[in-house]
Structure 1
Amino acid sequence: MLATLLLTCAQEVPQAATEWIRKNAIPFQTVEAGNGFQDLQPLKPLIGDARIVALGEPTHGTREAFQMKHRLLEFLVTELGFSIFSIEASMPEAYELNRYVIEGEGDPKALIGGMYFWTWNTEEVLAMVEWMRAYNAAGPRTTLQFTGFDMQTPDVAADIVRDAVRAHLRDLYRQVDDNYELVEDLRRRGSGASAFGVATGTFPVAAARGRSVRFSGWIRTEDLRDGFAGLWWRVDGPTGVLAFDNMEGRGPKGTSDWARYEIVLDVPPEATNINFGVIMPGAGASWFDDLEVALDGQPYADWSTFNGGFESEALALLSPSSGNYAARRVTAQPHGGGACLEIRGAPPQGPEPDHVVAAAQRVLAELQAQRDALVARTSPKDADWILQNARVVVQCARLFAGGQSGFNVRDECMADNVEWILGQNPGARIVLWAHNGHVSRGTLWGATWMGQHLEQKFPGQMAVFGFSTSAGRYTAMSGGRLASDNDLLAPPDGSVEAYLRSAAVPRLFLDVRGAQPGDPGSGWLTESRPMRSIGALAMDEQFYAVVPKDMFDVLVHIETTTSARQLDTPPGR
């Protein structure tokens, strides 16, 4: 079966490209650590004197990618002197695991779970952590550290600041506590993005590329104030948002009877993602029914799967939002049939998000002004750690207030945190573990990713490894549960995976930095083409347009992969 697939893909890929991949590929024997480094020696000149090696992953739940990152960490530490590991996990929570890695304090399973997310709560991460502990226990010349650079949760960071202020700057405690309550309240009531109720679906982008879309539906409203009810459609591409309409300025408001509305958009050929749905900013209630999609004037053949008439309970493909708004299927006064979708609610009450961010920033500024006092009562290292945790709270406040720009805020802050870690460890070299998107230098979904920010901070000092896989399964959230039986879709023609698969090398590294536009063998790496990118959610649309050379320095291809294996202890604190 595999041989047949390889032959089929080889016929689809230009022979010159296949030959170039075979000539330049660096095969490796295994993804499992503990098998020596002979097959990894060719990576040394690729990495050179890079201070940062960033390791991506094609999904947040791929076992072999995690295992290979473990193996690469061992290689980088023992052969090239890297001494810091940092993962896409909340910063102070990850640093708690550092005590185990350095001193052997605590239960590694509980500490991994304490980083909150199922994505890291795996056998593969535990095996790596236990190797790090064994390495330090052997008494190396340089201690290996476990750190984290993410900032999605303020709880532990805020507690660290509160405890420090209570112990050393008691006069500031009430101000700090009150301001941090604002941050926690902002998280509870939702970010700036939840000033509206919304139901969202994902439309098959392949069906709509290069075509005109008409999205229509029936809407009625009741006492809808300071807002409107509308349909919305958004098309994303390699450079960001390509097309968008949400009926702002022409959607119904106040109290109105059922009426038909529509939006019409052209979907460019380079589209990589389409989201759509219904929306209601403001206070009041609105109802939606008999949603329909037409492509080039013809009804979309598979529209019934989206339950646009809300006749069944299944709303999986049109998931309601949370926050101060409730979206639900109701049977009262539908337009047609026996049910419709209701959105009811009001914008969250409380201080404006910008005010909350300013409150967190005031705490940081006050602590920065008191740094000398903190140093006198603790140490320079401890004072800097207290300040960094105050910085993490500011970052969280910005994330919660960021609305649609949250992705950009997060990646900017993660890069800042990596910079801080390196600033605390002059001359040290660091290994980063994150998703392909976060480590990349290029553009995906129009976002500015951590890798781009790091390249600006550390120009020419980073080696970025992007991971790919062609077949198998992965762990992700599916239908509200964590599932390990999600299938990887077959690589489409022209995709990065189809090209790499054509070489018939089951495990390989490929240095893409020398690729040249127009070159018969390597030019494909300088062109926009699909590459798999799956996060924490199972996805039907698994491939997005990237320019591989712009994104990564080295591709790591593992032909067949399996699902990451969860620990028998649940994540959480």
Structure 2
Amino acid sequence: MSATVLDEVTAIRESAAPLRSPQDLDPLVRRIGHARIVLLGEATHGTAEFYRWRAELTRRLLAERDFSFVAVEGDWPECHRVHCCAAGAPGAPNDPGQVLWGFRRWPTWLWANEEVAEFAAWLRSFNATGDGPPCGFHGLDVYSLGESLRSVLGYVRAHAPEHVGAALQAFHCFEPYGEDPRDYGVSAALVPENCREEVVRLLTALRSAAPADSVPGLDPAFVAEQNAEVVAGAERYYREMVGGGARSWNTRDTHMSDTLDRLLRAYGPHSKAVVWAHNTHVGDARATDMAAAGLLNLGQLVRERHAADGVVAVGFGTFRGSVLAADRWGGAMRRMPVEPARPGSLEGLLHDAVPGEQSLHVFGAATAWAEELREHRAIGVVHRGGGYVPTVPSARYDAFVHCDETTASTPLHQWEPEEGDEAQTYPSGV
């Protein structure tokens, strides 16, 4: 180990804060201060420790700092059912685990796992004992085209029959492509006719302000409008995906950022949000090689749009352990090994400094080591050894949680849907 590396390891060890209990998050809670948006990442989509520490911090932010809702890298309709359960909405199930078990889109283990079920049960209890509006749980992603279309059609039939025509036009436009939106993307690339006009008409028909006395996140008009926004975002996403390149990724992350903004407006001018998503989404793309490839992401957009409101991004990483993932797209989930991180990578250096420990690193004057470009591990739902993203840690994040040795999350399902029910996310299934 060179003298320079020894100096860095020493500096990391001296600035690291051990993580053993929720109270050890105090330095990060102080760093968050009055920030309006907190972005919490993960280096994989199947690591128990990442879910648990995100949940611990989120509990504190909801209870101590009056945060309004949690927004996750998940589908709007499925997450809305969790939200209704956690908010105690009339007719909703009492058990969040039951709702999460109903998640069906591959890969189900992202949200249908015991760690999320435990947090959602806590959220339901927290809401039941509070005297204000319920804290929400919402999905930001773009994939639920078919289910969102059906939800919109159901809403307009029940509440806005004057818009049934617009909803049916959009529904019938996508109907030939069945439940596989990739077919639509291919068709739209080959022929000039596509469903854009129908989607625009549908969205225009449903865009209306929710009543002033509505419960945030539960108003049927707002839910229907968001489902229409998902349809519009999915139409753009699958059309761009066929062409390859950065545009489909950028469409997806822009949709997630736009959805977050709509939620902040719905919850009111003093609302605050916690976001759970992969590091590749929450860490600022401008601090990585993503920017050179023409990619932007949620973390970058949120920082650009909400700089005056205060934004804190927290990355998560691991040196080695196990992870829940698949070896091919649409394949069966299984517990897979996470090999030791490369020497000299961010995770490798943190392991050298605090081996076997879980630690918190809040970036600032004492963390000059985080200003250097380093390899940083990223594992998607498909794991074949994992990739690395060149990263300047202190520019990508405001803080970092390192769990030196990690374990796979515990899924609620022991099976997965058939291969091909969803298109692969670009570039790495995150």
What is the deviation of 1:42? 1.9
Structure 1 position 134 matched with structure 2 position 119: no
Structure 1 position 389 matched with structure 2 position 222: no
What is the deviation of 1:180? 2.6
Structure 1 position 423 matched with structure 2 position 265: yes
Q: Percent of pairs identical after alignment?
A: 28
Q: Contact 1:13/1:499 (CA < 8 Å) preserved in 2?
A: no
Deviation larger for 14-23 or 172-181: 172-181
Q: Distance in 1 between matches of 2:404 and 2:3?
A: 17
Q: Distance in 2 between matches of 1:69 and 1:91?
A: 20
The counterpart of 1:471, out of the listed 294, 316, 320, is 320
Structure 1 position 500 matched with structure 2 position 338: no
Shift in CA distance, 123/444, structure 1 to aligned 2, threshold 3 Å: farther
Where is the helix percentage greater, Structure 1 or Structure 2? 2
Structure 1 position 190 matched with structure 2 position 41: no
Counterpart of 1:109 in structure 2 is: 97
The counterpart of 1:406, out of the listed 202, 226, 248, is 248
Q: Deviations over 1:360-386 (max 9, x none)?
A: 112112333xx48x969x999443332
Q: Distance in 1 between matches of 2:349 and 2:118?
A: 32
Q: Give the SS at the match of 1:21.
A: helix
Match runs of 1:532-551 below 5 Å: 532-551=377-396
TM-score, normalised relative to structure 1: 0.63
The counterpart of 2:15, out of the listed 24, 35, 41, is 24
- Segments of structure 1 that go 5 or more residues without pairing to the other structure are 1-9, 31-36, 196-346, 516-520
What is the deviation of 1:26? 1.7
Structure 1 position 453 matched with structure 2 position 301: yes
Q: Deviations over 1:431-470 (max 9, x none)?
A: 1111011111124543211111111221151110100100
Q: Contact 1:157/1:393 (CA < 8 Å) preserved in 2?
A: yes
What is the deviation of 1:100? 1.0
Shift in CA distance, 379/431, structure 1 to aligned 2, threshold 3 Å: closer
What is the deviation of 1:86? 1.4
Q: Deviations over 1:508-536 (max 9, x none)?
A: 11122447xxxxx62x4223221110111
What is the deviation of 1:63? 0.9
Q: Contact 1:113/1:569 (CA < 8 Å) preserved in 2?
A: no
Q: Deviations over 1:214-258 (max 9, x none)?
A: xxxxxxxxxxxxxxxxxxxxxxxxxxxxxxxxxxxxxxxxxxxxx
Q: Contact 1:57/1:435 (CA < 8 Å) preserved in 2?
A: yes
Q: Distance in 2 between matches of 1:183 and 1:465?
A: 39
Shift in CA distance, 77/189, structure 1 to aligned 2, threshold 3 Å: closer
Q: Distance in 1 between matches of 2:164 and 2:132?
A: 41
Amino acid at match of 2:238: F
Match runs of 1:292-311 below 5 Å: none
Q: Give the SS at the match of 1:60.
A: coil
Q: Distance in 2 between matches of 1:482 and 1:499?
A: 33
What is the deviation of 1:394? 0.5
Counterpart of 2:332 in structure 1 is: 482
What is the deviation of 1:351? 5.6
Q: Distance in 2 between matches of 1:402 and 1:419?
A: 23
Amino acid at match of 1:188: D
Counterpart of 1:552 in structure 2 is: 397
Q: Deviations over 1:408-446 (max 9, x none)?
A: 110000000011111111212111111011111124543
Amino acid at match of 1:393: V
Q: Deviations over 1:285-306 (max 9, x none)?
A: xxxxxxxxxxxxxxxxxxxxxx
The counterpart of 2:280, out of the listed 437, 446, 467, is 437
Q: Contact 1:28/1:507 (CA < 8 Å) preserved in 2?
A: yes
Counterpart of 1:200 in structure 2 is: none
Match runs of 1:155-170 below 5 Å: 155-170=146-161
Amino acid at match of 1:85: V
Counterpart of 2:425 in structure 1 is: none
Shift in CA distance, 168/193, structure 1 to aligned 2, threshold 3 Å: closer
Amino acid at match of 2:259: N
Please tell me the root mean square deviation across aligned C-alpha atoms, in Å.
2.9
Q: Give the SS at the match of 1:531.
A: strand
Q: Contact 1:469/1:561 (CA < 8 Å) preserved in 2?
A: yes
Q: Distance in 2 between matches of 1:181 and 1:119?
A: 31
- Segments of structure 2 that go 5 or more residues without pairing to the other structure are 422-430
Amino acid at match of 1:452: Q
TM-score, normalised relative to structure 2: 0.83
Where is the strand percentage greater, Structure 1 or Structure 2? 1
Q: Contact 2:186/2:239 (CA < 8 Å) preserved in 1?
A: no
The counterpart of 1:75, out of the listed 56, 60, 72, is 60
Deviation larger for 147-156 or 410-419: 147-156
Q: Give the SS at the match of 1:431.
A: strand
Q: Distance in 1 between matches of 2:3 and 2:333?
A: 33
Q: Contact 2:133/2:215 (CA < 8 Å) preserved in 1?
A: no
